[in-house]
Chains A and B, each alone.
Chain A
């Protein structure tokens, strides 16, 4: 009961502010609504007992990526309203495609519940203490089965670091 109240609270905030995010004309307003969406998603992670992911979402997404976005918006003078939609047709096509995909996925999800013997898609939640010391469990998995992806992630970060600096730094010798 309490769990579903919390879920609907966060889900409502997430969806509403996501919708506001893509409709604001000013990029900073969009960024603020993206921040609220991300915070609400962090709340949903917490409701799903993924505590470490909750705090990583806050540290990395909200405190990291969004600061980067706001910096760039301020640096490239995007904080003024811009002419928005390319053409009316494109908007309608976008809505239509989104609606089609949404209806399709929704129907699949809905029907899957009705098919007997296909209970795999809707399992019951695992017992609450299954993943209990969340950080420890996650660490054991990260440094056990997923050690190689972990090292590769550091290569990815290295590439991103180099790439971003090459892109953004003024070329003095060109």
Chain B
């Protein structure tokens, strides 16, 4: 018995380590994404956000999380106990489990080389709407129920759009296996974002919608629905929903990165004179460390400057690890080298993707529910289907008639953009009357119309 367990661990230790790391680290990352978001929002609104706990509020999220953990665990009297308990667990489990098939670099993946690969990520993360609607229902309160209905309607109506956008990527890849998708972007010498730009654009919009961000944050709409479907949740259960939301954000960013942005590949992996880009991780981390040293002297309290020194030291240590691993890019150490550098580029791209989310959030006003559904059903779904047809025709043209694939891609992209213009034009003619009629009613009363 013990022997077989040992053999098992020996065979799968990388995957098991990775599983443990994801469970331990992703909540931390999620919490810090929230901090970055707060700081960024504060910056946009010209104010400093948390500044007290740790230097520049770097430790703010830890007392926040502890507070949530020890808050009173309140279940409303007329709530459904069982489902109130079950729903957040479902949301959280779905969001984290879907990360099992994401490749955070060529060697960091829990389920390596599974045949359905990226589809597993997409499909399992699509279960979290169930947690939201069940949680809203279990609260037995008007606001959460309306919020849950809206939220689920929003999540599912853009899931189809995202699915069609992913099909255009799978057409180019010819496989669902995560590692094969990235490798094919290396051998094809092009990230798929350049071969299917319209598909990437559609996926970007759909992924913003699926993570409930402004300008599509209709389920939360703090001015209308209190806090949407999770108004009755507090303490650790609320924390579970929070983690699920941020984990989902990481998941959609990872899917977009893997399929369209070349996964863990360095930019221009095949161009010889750009190999100096391999030094980027070391330099970047060293620069961050140096900046921390620079700021450490300016901290108001001694503890804060000590903490800043610690951060700087951590940055330097990681930079040193990258620098030491750099020469070992041949066989016995290849795993370590590729793993480290791949993980860096992957996380870099994912962070950039999430940063774009935040950027849009602080720039654009919220959509109205009718505008939002019309955007989905009248414009994006037909556009996504046209894009799938366009990409497949471009592929067929370049393989059957020997047309240069960039020319073929350019032609079909122009055609798809033309179709989008046409759809927008029809929609404009159509929607003016509908909008005027709708403005008369408030949107909450709209939701509760019987029949």
- The A-contacting residues of B in range 31-62, CB under 8 angstroms, are none
Interface: B149 (CB within 8 A)? yes
Interface: B109 (CB within 8 A)? no
Q: B123–A58 contact, CB under 8 A?
A: yes
Give Cα A70 to B149, complex, Å: 10
Q: What total of chain B residues lie within 8 Å of the partner, measured CB to CB?
A: 26
Interface: B390 (CB within 8 A)? no
B116 in complex: contacting residue of A28, A29, A54, A66, CB < 8 Å: A54
Contact A67/B120 with A74-B145, A170-B451 known, Cβ cut-off 8 Å: no
Interface: B305 (CB within 8 A)? no
Q: B134–A70 contact, CB under 8 A?
A: yes
Cβ contacts under 8 Å, A133 to chain B: 115
Interface: B124 (CB within 8 A)? yes
Q: A66–B130 contact, CB under 8 A?
A: yes
Among the stretches B80-88, B211-219, B221-229, B402-410, the one at the interface with A is B80-88
Q: What total of chain A residues lie within 8 Å of the partner, measured CB to CB?
A: 24
Interface: A62 (CB within 8 A)? yes
B82 in complex: contacting residue of A29, A35, A70, CB < 8 Å: A29
Cβ contacts under 8 Å, B114 to chain A: 51
Interface: B254 (CB within 8 A)? no
Q: A70–B133 contact, CB under 8 A?
A: yes
Give Cα A62 to B93, complex, Å: 14
Q: Which residue of A lies closest to B176 (CB)?
A: A135
Cβ contacts under 8 Å, A55 to chain B: 116, 119-120, 123
Q: A62–B83 contact, CB under 8 A?
A: no
Contact A63/B176 with A28-B137, A54-B116 known, Cβ cut-off 8 Å: no
Give Cα A141 to B145, complex, Å: 44
Interface: A134 (CB within 8 A)? yes
Nearest Cβ distance between residue A72 and chain B, in whole angstroms? 12
B133 in complex: contacting residue of A58, A62, A67, CB < 8 Å: A67
Contact A29/B156 with A54-B116, A70-B133, A134-B115 known, Cβ cut-off 8 Å: no
Q: Which residue of A lies closest to B122 (CB)?
A: A59
Please name 14 further chain A to chain B contacts, defined as beta carbons within 8 Å, in addition to the given A51-B116, A67-B133, sorted by A numbering: A29-B82, A32-B83, A52-B119, A55-B116, A58-B123, A58-B127, A59-B119, A59-B122, A63-B127, A63-B130, A66-B130, A67-B156, A74-B145, A133-B115
Which B residues have a C-beta under 8 Å from some C-beta of A?
80, 82-83, 86, 114-116, 119-120, 122-124, 126-127, 129-130, 133-134, 137, 145, 149, 152, 156, 159, 176, 451
